[in-house]
Structure 1
Amino acid sequence: MRFGEMTLLPFVSEVQSNMAALCRRALLITGEKIGVNISARGLGTSASLCRRAPPLGPLPNEDIDVTDLEALEKYGSYPRYVRNAQEASKKTHWWRTYKEYMDAANPEKDVELVDIGLPFRRGSRLQEVRQRNKVMRENKLNPELERATRLRTLKVPLDRVREEWERTSGPHHIRRLADHYAIYRDLFPTAYFVPRVMMRVRYGDGTDDASAVYYGNQLPPSTAAAPPKVSYEAEEGSLWTLLLTSPDEHLQDGNLEYVHWLVGNIPGSDLSAGQEVCGYLPPFPAKGTGFHRFVFVLFKQDAAIDFTHDTRTSPCTSLAERSFRTVEFYRRHQDVMTPASLAFFQSQWDDTVTHTFHTLLNMREPVFEYEQPPVYHPPQRKFPHGQPLRYLDRYRDGKEHTYGHRY
């Protein structure tokens, strides 16, 4: 595109540069007035920083010749145009989103999910607004708080922030994370629950945040070698069940899980006084299989439960006995059991997994390797101008790459 004999691109670039210089000068002048040193920070515009990439395929109406619009096909009427537009919208295009592809591959996308969690009764909205307004008035009348805010010395207690988060939006955030990691899909098909009870799980001595279990964080198997410390708020006289399972570890059937820990009839939050249905087994993600999910599920009981059918031998070193399905376990006891809390982490192979297989499970350690697809060799070109040669990488087998030169 030209304007007379001069292209517009240098003109636009010059205007952008001038605007950036003016904005920077204005910021420097403002910084001098308020006593802030911002001379060390640069300023850039979005137009100068953006990088345009070619599209992945043809764009809509790319084949239309805009210089000769009169030669285009005329629809003749609006209903005929609508019919053609609807037919065009049903065609498969390259810009279809990832969600549409996943929905097409999931036959249960239209199945309505069932909420199996604890009931929730929200308090009065009027009382919440009054309490918030009261706190705001007290903060405005507090001179120490105002001075600390003005001098930027105010320290926000993170414990109170976490408590407020757990009381308000935390359960819904945890549910979204569990849905993102497909926890409900693999443990409770066609069902879900909102974690109404906050559960804290920590390995080790319980003081290191790096060994805590959150919602999808990564922990090595060496950290989870011993049973963790689990705490939660429980009413006096209540009974609970704690489950630790892995939906990714099973070596023979992808639809089964391995139960790593199961404690039932827990009075309050005292795990030591509960019935250990299945002893603790450290995570053992096989080498070459990537990250595995390990999920803690806390159930609230309405009465004591007979776990005779679920009890494993102690110590349980047979993977066949540890084969497990959370949904079947829940269906057997759903009349007196309700899922109330959730926490999960990810883990991949390290040296302690070898010890678990050889010592605890008394079996040979399985090792997996990804099968690489056959290498695609594009047809050779006589004069590959502007392209890397890399002849050895393209036309000979081998895992080590030998990079060539560029023309």
Structure 2
Amino acid sequence: MNSDGYKYYSHSPQEWEKIDSQKNPKKPKRPFGRVNLILGINFAAILAIFLIYFGFSGSNTVKVNSLAKVGDFQIYITSPKENYLSGEPLNFYVYLSNLSSSSKTFDIYSFSLKITGNSTPVYVFNTSEVIKSEIGPNSTILLYELKKDTNLSNLKPGEYTAKILMNFDGKIVSIEKTFKYSSVIFASINSPDDFFIEGQRADLNLYVQNNTPNMVNLNIDNISFTIFTSNKKVLNSQNITVNSIFPVQSGQQALIYNYKTIPLNAGNYYLSAVISGSQDLSATSVISVINKSDLSDISGIKIISDIPLYVNRNTPASFSISLANNDLFSKKYVVLNSLTIIVKKGNIELYRFYNDKSHNIIINPGGVRLLLDSKSWQTITFPSTGTYDFEVIAKIGDQFINYNKKIQSL
């Protein structure tokens, strides 16, 4: 680790400069031990490859920004976002697509990654073993995912560039993508419920999110809450003395106050919160209130999930579960009273998840409302090959809807 606190997993900046000055790179003698190249829908790890410097030039070089085309193949980088807040983990994917209508074989002779910020390397990765594989017609496979290899979540504010170099079928492919990190502290108002019933007190939580590289001790003197209508008519205002210090870790949020409104009639309202103290912050949230008679039944509502049809044995499978509204013209206001997830093989039950806490859910016309993401729940693996039953049961009001899928473990 150098004086700036960065780890060098392969070469120091001085060694990179030496490598960059060479025009005829040589294959390292020792392979790099950490491997995280991924191939195919089953995410099987690829062991690859030796380091070639990033400034390579020659007749076989293919250079573009985040996408390169080599014959019938296309190699590209994609990511969930390009603008990150400090504390959020950086992630991106490298994909390989076969653009032809027939299966193609390919060889990967090298793969290297270097992430830099302000011309300083913050992460370097390379492996050393030749890969020979095949991809089906008009298919796309995942070659590499950053978060599987490392967790870069405490990057300083600024601009970062991920550069990838690979020798693909004898062509030197160079692709790159730029990301930005910002440092900010902000407030937000959230509730587990999307709406409330007329006459209820809306229950909302005020949070402060710390997206800076360091922990902050937030000194809050007081909070002013105001409820107003869409035409800015004030219905209620309250000033609350706090005089407390809230330590908030980098990338984390802290619950500052749980606020319950006055009972409200049906309609849409706004709640604003103004925080005074060492940081002056504010947040606004919409409050939807409906008549109990406006609650929807399950007609037009179905459960959907993106759990894959084929999984690799003993490999964690991630998935999400949502409610979809097939009605293209009307919102659905439903009370989700329970959610059950069951995974079985034959008569043997492997997993059961059950949550009976009620939530008021709004599903927009033709829209989808996320209920659960397995990343925030638990990891499911399929311990042996064969067919598994994946079942989801949602209780909405006094009615039930089901979702069933057969999963093949390979």
With normalisation by structure 2, the TM-score equals 0.25
With normalisation by structure 1, the TM-score equals 0.25
Task: Considering fraction of residues, name the structure with more strand.
Answer: 2
